[in-house]
Structure formats: structure tokens, C-alpha cells
Amino acid sequence: MSLLTLVNQLNAYLEAGGWVMPFLTAVLFSLWFTLGYRLWLLRRGTNAPVESLCQSVLHGRPVKGDGVLPYTCRLAASALSRYPEPLGQLDFIFRTVSKRLHRFQLLAKSLVIVAPLLGLLGTVTGMIETFDSLAEMALFRQSGGIAGGISKALFTTQLGLAIAIPGYFFLAVLQRRQSNLESDLLKLQDLLHESWHFHSHAQTKANP
């Protein structure tokens, strides 16, 4: 199948669905761009356990990787080395990173909801055209008649569901990944706090 044939078939498919199809197409590309960005954003970045990452931060060992946890560890290590009382700065770092994990989350959920609603709107539009054609006893007319109305009703519903159903399951996978990352961040933050308090208490005892 040539590229021109594929483009013509795609164009015919979009035209068959009526004026709602361009909006559904825009939702399709926007949704998967958003989901792709969130998939890239929600990378753990390392297979090391949180306890090992905490020890790396405390001892100044580099944590390799480009995901959420290595990035957070580098910021935490910098705060521990620069500030004599770093707990406030650590809390700020972890709040900022946790907030970053929510980027485009609401947009992705909204697009998954909007897709079937647009499909339903196209269905209603197609059915109205069908009933208008039946009232006029017109099998064919400029806007498509009965056949055109039924096509709009079916094509828009099909595309709306084809967008929403995979998007919903992909959202669930990303939500689970985000929950795991937030749990790891909270655990790492608690371990750093406990280690710093223990270190400060030991220093106080050593230097009364």
C-alpha cells in the first residue's frame, strides 16, 4: 500500500465522520503526546533500593541515572553539602519533585473523558441527519442523507472509544508508577531526616 493510498483512505475516514472528526483527531494526538511526556517524566532512573540511595547521598557517592530518584538524590546531596541545617531545604526539594510528577496529569484525564463525549456528539449529529432524511424520504442528498448520517454516527463513536479505552488503561499504568515513585520519595525523605538527626545527636554527644 502506497503512502498516497493510505493518506486518501485516512482522509475518506475523516470525511465520513463529519465535522467532529478533526476535533477527535486533535484529541487523539494531544492525548498520546501528553501520555508519552508523562511516561518519560515518571522514570525511576535506577533499580537501586531506597536505602542504598540514602547511603549514597549521605556519603557523597554519585547516583547515576536520569530519572526521578537519581535527580532527587543529586539535589539532596548538594543541599547536605551546602547547608549547615539542610532539613528545610530537603523538604523544599522533595515537595518540588513531588509536584513535578503531577505535570499534565489533569490534562490527560480530561482528554480521556472528552474523547467519548465528542464521539457521542458526532453520534447525535449523525442521528439527527438520519432522521431528517427519513422525514424527507431522502436516501441521498448533499450532506449524505440516511447513509451519511449513519456513517457519522458510527465513525465518531468508534474513534471516540478507540481513543478513550487505551488511554484509560495507559493512565492507570502511569498512575501506579506515580504512586510508587511518590512512595519511594517519601521513604527517602524520611530516611534522610532520621540519618541527619542521628548524625546531629551523635555530634552533640561527642562535643558536649
From 34-43, 120-129, 146-155, the region with the lowest mean pLDDT: 146-155
State the Cα–Cα distance between residues 189 and 91, nearest whole angstrom. 8
Q: Which residue has the higher pLDDT, 36 or 203?
A: 36
Decide if 168 is inside a domain: yes
- The residue range of the domain holding 106 is 20-39+48-195
Overall pTM > 0.85: no
pLDDT, tens digit, 9 for 90 and up, residues 63-111: 888 899 999 999 999 998 888 888 889 999 999 999 999 999 999 999 9
In a domain, 172, yes or no: yes
pLDDT at 143: 47
Structural domain contains residue 24: yes
Q: How confident is the model at residue 131 (pLDDT cuts 50, 70, 90)?
A: low
Residue pair 161/123 in contact by the 8 Å Cβ criterion? no
Share of the chain above pLDDT 90, in %: 50
User: What's the total number of domains in the chain?
Assistant: 1
Say if 13 falls within a structural domain: no
**133, part of any domain:** yes
In a domain, 6, yes or no: no
- Helical spans, DSSP H, in the chain: 3-16, 20-41, 50-58, 68-82, 87-100, 105-136, 145-206
- Residue 208 domain-assigned? no
* 158 domain residue, yes or no: yes
